[in-house]
Structure 1
Amino acid sequence: MPLFLGVEGSANKVGVGIVSDAGAVLCNERETYVPATGTGFQPRETARHHQRQVVQLLQRALRAAGVTPRELAGVAYTGGPGMGAPLQSCAVAARTFAQLFRLPLVPVNHCVAHIEMGRLVTGAVDPAVLYVSGGNTQVIAYSEQRYRVFGETIDIAVGNCLDRLARLLGLSNAPSPGYNIEQAAKRGKRYVPLPYCVKGMDVSFSGLLSYAGELVRRVSVEDLCYSVQETVFAMLVEVTERAMAHCGYRDVLVVGGVGCNARLQEMLRVMCEGRGGRLWGMDERYCVDNGCMVAWAGWLGRGEGDGWAGVRQRWRTDEVVVGWRE
């Protein structure tokens, strides 16, 4: 049974996972860099965290899976998009591991890895995809060996918007800013109108964030978190439904760290059911960045590479040839 190991480290999470060619997850080890409250994670400090953790994560993954490096068929790593220093740190670790044991090395697009892991875990065959995370916000559909982007953010990603709101409100970064906003929003009772910026198929969050910053001293933390969530998620649902109507889809797969938000999933589910379809969602094990998704995408794309083994901070989703879908 061929096994593939994956190393993920595009942002504040470093993960190592091992999967089989049949999609069985043998292990899913992960560590998160958590900065102090009121701050965000910077590339240099995040890279140092990953450098300290990645070797022991590789060891933990092999032990948890009960395999040796000689039993692996290859190594995959996140080649982009993401933060340069963390990406490079994990790429070096993956290349070193592959060279030590003479294993093939496959760079993986982070966004495509999220989508393929979502399809594997949920069983969704050909849904529209809403990809929402700290660094990316895209509405995607597959066509002719590419994941086509039908809509995206024109400024900051939705996860980045929520992270920065948490800093404005003084919410903790542990276990994550988005999780703490979600919990505070559940206690919110009053909706405060906020800028709603949808431009065709694209969305914009920076103006909403600036306006929310002006309300920090006038609105309770709970009400502001509730209002921001309701507004940004409504924007995402709108552009997703428009893409579905354009492409003739009824089902949606939501992936990325923000995708495990229960309120977002509820809003998407209502929309999908209204169209006679279904929402495919996951929990934090596979929605949040992890090594398994990189391993699985590496296995799928092992024959699609061109020998390139570097990192690209701005490697777009629609640049990847998705030959395995055919």
Structure 2
Amino acid sequence: RRQQQQKLRFDAPQKLQVASSGPEKMIALGIEGSANKIGVGIVTLDASILSNPRRTYVTPPGHGFLPRETAKHHLEHVLPLVAEALADAGLDGPSSIDCICYTKGPGMGAPLQVGAVAARMLALAWGKPLVPVNHCVAHIEMGRAVTGADDPVVLYVSGGNTQVIAYSEGRYRIFGETIDIAVGNCLDRFARVLKLSNDPSPGYNIEQ
């Protein structure tokens, strides 16, 4: 457990140097498949979301999702989602993309591998830089982009983590965390006991 926690003392994202029509016009295509949802997003450097289609692997009420079956679901949907994302964004194919990003972890191994392999394939085929992204940093940076916060103290609550995180000395650092079960994991287990639907998510259906 301590080794897993240590990995979350992560560096902040660095600026990527790629050829484009200007830094304000840089466009990235990202693949996220760390759990039961597979998504392909296209965003600009200023965090404008051009498209974000997703597909969710839904299991029967009372059941969780296994890595192998989840990976199979992602494999079936990832390339169609890439095409859908490009179409939704109104882009003229790969020539409009400056870099390819993918979730490198934390997450479920087999589903993560599907996203990583797809991203590498696209980067090679399209001749684009490949950018691995820390899942936890992505959550924080997304929150910063949406709220406009400059230097936030973050309560990071997910399926695998419940932590207080802030930026210090050149990286994000964990200043406190749960010592038993993550809030997201607790909600998932509670929903399974009550046999609530997993569509769109256990937490959503608990709120309802």
| TM class by smaller structure | 0.7 to 0.9
Query: Are 1:21 and 2:25 counterparts?
Result: no
Distance 1:59 1:121 in 2: 26
Segments of 4+ moved more than 2 angstroms: 153-156
> What's the counterpart of residue 115 of structure 2?
90
Alignment of 1:1-326 (within 5 A): 1-67=25-91, 68-183=93-208
Larger radius of gyration: 1
Letter in 1 for 2:31: V
> What's the counterpart of residue 11 of structure 2?
none
> In the TM superposition, what whole-angstrom CA distance separates every residue of 1:236-289 from its partner, at most 9, and x where no partner exists?
xxxxxxxxxxxxxxxxxxxxxxxxxxxxxxxxxxxxxxxxxxxxxxxxxxxxxx
Distance 2:88 2:169 in 1: 38
> What's the counterpart of residue 14 of structure 2?
none
Q: How far apart are 1:158 and its partner, in Å?
A: 1.0
Higher strand share: 2
Task: Report the count of equivalent residues.
Answer: 183
> In the TM superposition, what whole-angstrom CA distance separates every residue of 1:149-181 from its partner, at most 9, and x where no partner exists?
011223332111111111111111112111111
Q: Give TM-score, length-normalised by structure 2.
A: 0.85
3-state SS, counterpart of residue 138 of structure 1: strand
> What's the counterpart of residue 200 of structure 1?
none
> In the TM superposition, what whole-angstrom CA distance separates every residue of 1:77-109 from its partner, at most 9, and x where no partner exists?
000000000000110011101111010001000
Identity of aligned residues (%): 68
Unaligned runs of 5+ in 2: 1-24
3-state SS, counterpart of residue 81 of structure 2: helix
Distance 1:155 1:102 in 2: 45
Letter in 2 for 1:47: A
Unaligned runs of 5+ in 1: 184-326
Letter in 2 for 1:21: L
Moved more, 150-159 or 45-54: 150-159
Q: How far apart are 1:24 and its partner, in Å?
A: 1.5
Greater RCO between the two (CA within 8 Å, min separation 6)?
1
Distance 1:92 1:133 in 2: 25
Distance 2:143 2:182 in 1: 20
Letter in 2 for 1:42: L
